[in-house]
Chains A and B, each alone.
Chain A
Amino acid sequence: MDLKPSTEPSRRTRRPPVPVKIVIAGGFGVGKTTAVSAISEIPPLSTEAAITTVAARVDATGEVPAKMTTTVALDFGCITIDEALKLYLFGTPGQDRFGFMWHDLSQGALGALVIVDARRINDCYPAVDYFEKVRLPFVVAVNMFHGELRHELAELRWALAIDAGIPLVTFDARSKLSVRDALLAVLRHTRSRIEGA
């Protein structure tokens, strides 16, 4: 069977929207998928992406380190900005060994939101290091999922060793408006970086 060529509007006049994206990074269980769910207009989808890692062991030939492909889940959602522009949010685990996928995700991204659990701030270091290295504008957002902040933000900033120019905000990954504001912080930071360049 043929799909019925649709009558209106004609495909020839339809143009897909231009996609833009923001990367949502952070350690496991830090609230990335929760944040995407809170604001995405579609239920978050998950797909598998391959990452290539160099295995610590030596393969059967005894010479060359084996390259291994590992699969990692990639969660994402989207927000229609206007009829010609669509924002994608890609949530990616923030471990060192997922660096390969970060390249794909960071390429052309408007910026990144690095989510931090104040009890386990070390988990976000690889993401912070990576975005600093590739010079992708990012904001660090402490997820107040547990209600209270045990440290002052200034202490956290010191512990994270992030530059004073990098915004550090608190938010609640379960709240749509709170996630919206965190994303706005990313975009405003990106804007100021461009304007300051």
Chain B
Amino acid sequence: MTPEPDGFDAPALSHTRAFLAAGRGQDGDAAGTANDSAVSGLRPYLLTSGRAEPVDQSLEIESQVLTTDLGATAYGRLSFEYREIVRLCEDTVSVAEVAAKLGLHIGVARVLVADLAALGYLVVQRPTFPVNQDLNLIERVIRGLEAIH
């Protein structure tokens, strides 16, 4: 094999392809701890095992998320991103707040929250549907806003 005539060198492989790096960790939550400090520079979907869709694709971004006792107990065994979410959700926050406060893309936050919920580490309160047909609920919101001064 001859070298490239123009002296082209293949660039060093600077990051791992998402699908290769990711597969581990789905069947054991201890995976990823060795990589904790390396996470921040990676492309967002590397954090989600290459998946761009949450386990539950319909998880609304206003859904409320709260860490369970199980999640708090598992904290030390979780990889960095999961751990940050479990910590943040000690107090109830929305999926949108998880994204904003942890600097995650909203789609990534959705996937990670859905993963943790599937493991029982988070409890998720989704909106009730069809919310926009529920007169009592709308009356409650109206009264709540009227109380603002």
Chain A residues near B (Cβ < 8 Å) = 1-6, 10-12, 14-21, 39, 45-50, 71, 74, 76, 78-82, 85-88, 90, 104-105, 107-111, 136-137, 176-177, 180, 183-184, 187-188, 190-191, 194-195
Contact = CB atoms under 8 A, between A and B. Distances in A.
Nearest to B60: A108
Interface stretch (B1-9, B15-23, B31-39, B61-69): B61-69
Chain A: interface secondary structure?
A: mixed
Contact of B72 (A3, A49, A187, A190): A3
A11 B73 CA distance: 12
Closest 3 CB pairs of A and B: A81-B144, A16-B64, A45-B100
A2 B73 contact: yes
B61 A104 contact: yes
Contact of B138 (A11, A12, A190): A190
Contacts of B72: 2-6, 11
Contact of A47 (B75, B96, B133, B135): B96
B105 A71 contact: yes
Contacts of A87: 141, 144-145
Interface of B: 60-69, 72-73, 75-76, 86-87, 90, 92, 94, 96-97, 99-101, 104-107, 109, 123-133, 135, 137-146, 148-149
A78 B144 CA distance: 12
Contacts of A85: 137, 140-141, 144
Contacts of A104: 60-61
13 contacts: A3-B72, A3-B90, A10-B69, A20-B62, A20-B127, A50-B106, A74-B96, A104-B61, A105-B61, A107-B60, A108-B131, A176-B148, A194-B135
B106 A110 contact: no
A137 B143 CA distance: 19
A16 B92 contact: yes
